[in-house]
Every structure is written in structure tokens, then in C-alpha cells.
Amino acid sequence: MGNLVEGRVAVVTGAGRGIGREHALMLAAHGAKVVVNDLGGDTDGSGVDASPAQQVVDEIKGMGGEAVVNGGNVADWDDAKAMIDQAIESFGGLDIVINNAGILRDRMMFSMTESDWDAVINVHLKGTFAPSHHAAVYWRERAKAGEENDARIINTSSPSGIYGNIGQANYGAAKAGIAAFTMITAMELAKYGVTCNSLAPAAYTRMTAELPGFAGLDEEAQEKMGPRWIANVACWLASPEAANVTGRCFDVLGNRIGIAEGWVLGPSAEQGEDPESLTDIIPGLMNAARLNSNMGGQPQGGPGRPSNEL
């Protein structure tokens, strides 16, 4: 066991399985006390099961760490406050919030229902905002009382959100929103001693096992794409070492880590007074502009991130 986050208190949402589970275990292995949140539903958000979160807590205690179960719904305002309060009451404070909970309801736009859209946006986007809000209130009150914070919010975006992916308009929109939320939150909370970063991870989990690029991976490939690599980055970002890192989105694929640089202003020109003038202007801008990135974070036609890049 290391000591990168020794004595720090963390809330990890969606921590019963997959990436969230690895976050909780890695933090605990490096000395953090962890509130393990998980509603325990299926990948589409249906159902409730407390046993995955309890298993993670048992595993942490088995390694000599400290952890408690929280079965709240991250998108429920009162549940989100309760998980923040639970951390403070159980362990005497709060230093880290990792917003990881999520579901999938992939559909093409013309097949997507209102409930498909609402459920995914609710869990991912509101489920990131609600715990973050209640944590931010706590840290702001500490700062106003003259106490120092060295706190972290770590959100979970996705290549589907920052680069785009067919069949995931709901999921991608939520994840793009999380990336923007991260940048703005970083600006707003800097003066209170709080950093905010996001991860855009790709990992082999139960949520991705049947998706293109993941389905059919052999055991060795699954290991190379395992979620523990994502937890490495989250644990470091949660530590005092990362005090000056904020507002960034880290693209993590296996043991490769990079920074997604986001939207930038490309070629520009002055418009004429009539919209018809754009007939001559916009084609020139299009020819000069880089294409949107593919799922590998590279302009279309570039080297990209092939499904077998491990």
C-alpha cells in the first residue's frame, strides 16, 4: 500500500463495479478513507442492488482500510447531499469527490426515446453536478471560516463526449456537458482551494464489453485495457501532488495518458453585410479548418485510435 492520499477522505460514485470500483480500491490502497457509493443498477439504470458496493467496502476493510457503503442515487438532490454528509460524519471531513456513476442507453437519434435521453442526461450530468454542488458548499463554508482546503473534484467525461460517437447522442451530450462543467467549476472554485479535472477514459468493463472495439477482446487485451489504469490517474489527481492541475481533461487509454485540448478557434474571416457573402467565405474556412477529431482524438483521416491499439 502507498501513501499518495494518506488520511484523505473521498466519495466515489458508481464505485461498485468497473472504473469506480478501481478508483475506490486504489484510493484506499494509498491511504484514503472512502465512501463507496453505488445504486447497484443494471447498465441501463434499472434495478437496485447494494451488494456490489458492500463487496468493495469489504475488500477495502480486508486490506486494512476504512470505507462505508452509500446506496444513494447521484441524481437525487437529497441523496447527493446525504453522501457528502456521510463522508463528513463518518470520517471527519471531505477532500475528494470522484463523480463516476453512469448508465448507457445507446440508440441512433431516430430510435432514441425521451426516457432514453432523460435517464442518461440525469444520471451523468445532474449526477455530476449534485454531489459536486454539496461538496462545494462545504468547502466554501470552510474557506469563509478561515480554514484551508486542498480539495479535489474529478469528473468522468468520455471520448464519446469530447470527440463524438455514433449511437450515443444522449451519452455524448452528457459527457460533453461534464467536460464543460469541469472547466467552469475549476474557475469558480480555485479561490477556495479546490481543483476540478475530468477523465475521458476507455476501459474494458461490463458497460463497454459489448461495444465495438471491445467486444471479443481476449484476456490479455482485456487486462491491458483494464480500468486500473484510469484509477492510477484519478488517484494522482486526488493527491496533494496535483494541487496546481485544474480545468483539464485527461484522455486515458490503457497505460497511455494525454490531455484533450478542447475547442479552439480555427480559421476566421469577416462577414459581408448580406448572408449571400458567406457563399464565398465559408468554403474557404472549411478548406482551411482541421476536421473534427475521431474517437482517437485525431483529425479524421489521421492515425486515430484503432480498436486494437493497446
Please give the domain boundaries of the chain with CATH numbers for all domains. 9-260 (3.40.50.720), 266-303 (no CATH)
Beta-carbon contacts of residue 27 (< 8 Å; ≥ 6 apart): 5, 8, 10, 12, 34, 96, 98, 231, 234, 235, 238
Average pLDDT over residues 20-30: 98
C-alpha distances in Å from residue 259, one per residue of 124, 194, 256, 264, 288: 21, 20, 10, 14, 24
Range of lowest pLDDT (7-11, 75-79, 187-191, 250-254): 250-254
158 is catalytic: yes
Q: Is the confidence at residue 19, as pLDDT, over 70?
A: yes
> pLDDT confidence of 41, banded at 50, 70, 90?
confident
Which one, of 247, 249, 234, lies nearest residue 185 by Cα?
Answer: 247
Q: Is the confidence at residue 91, as pLDDT, over 90?
A: yes
Pairing of strands 249-253, 256-260: antiparallel
C-alpha distances in Å from residue 150, one per residue of 70, 96, 192, 221, 289: 24, 9, 9, 37, 41
Bridge partners of residue 155, in order along the sequence = 99, 198
Average pLDDT over residues 133-144: 98
DSSP per position, 234-295: HHHHTSGGGTT--S-EEEEETTEEEEE------------SSGGGHHHHHHHHHHHSPPPB-T
Phi, psi of 202 (to 5 degrees): -130, 120
Supply the pTM of this predicted model: 0.91
Q: How far apart are CA 113 and CA 60, in angstroms?
A: 40
Q: Which of 138, 163, 171, 204 is catalytic?
A: 171
pLDDT, tens digit (0-9, with 9 covering 90-100), for 154-212 = 999 999 999 999 999 999 999 999 999 999 999 999 999 999 999 999 865 556 556 56
pLDDT at 162: 95
pLDDT at 34: 98
Q: Which of 157, 158, 160, 239 is catalytic?
A: 158
pLDDT, tens digit (0-9, with 9 covering 90-100), for 236-258 = 999 999 999 999 999 999 899 99
Q: Is the confidence at residue 301, as pLDDT, over 60?
A: no
Cα torsion 109, 294, 247, 250: sign: positive
Q: How far apart are CA 169 and CA 208, in angstroms?
A: 16
- Give the chain's mean pLDDT: 91
Average pLDDT over residues 38-66: 90
Which one, of 196, 211, 208, 290, lies nearest residue 246 by Cα?
Answer: 196
pLDDT at 42: 77
Pairing of strands 9-12, 33-37: parallel
Beta strand extents in the chain (DSSP E only): 9-12, 33-37, 66-70, 96-99, 151-156, 194-202, 249-253, 256-260
191 is catalytic: no
Range of lowest pLDDT (45-49, 76-80, 82-86): 45-49
pLDDT at 46: 76
Residue type, 216: G
Average pLDDT over residues 258-276: 95
> pLDDT confidence of 299, banded at 50, 70, 90?
confident
163 is catalytic: no
pLDDT at 214: 61
DSSP label at residue 110 = G
Q: Which of 138, 175, 198, 293 is catalytic?
A: 175
Q: Is the confidence at residue 73, as pLDDT, over 70?
A: yes
Share of the chain above pLDDT 70, in %: 89
Q: Is the confidence at residue 126, as pLDDT, over 50?
A: yes
Residue 98, classed as helix, strand or coil, is strand
> pLDDT confidence of 217, banded at 50, 70, 90?
low
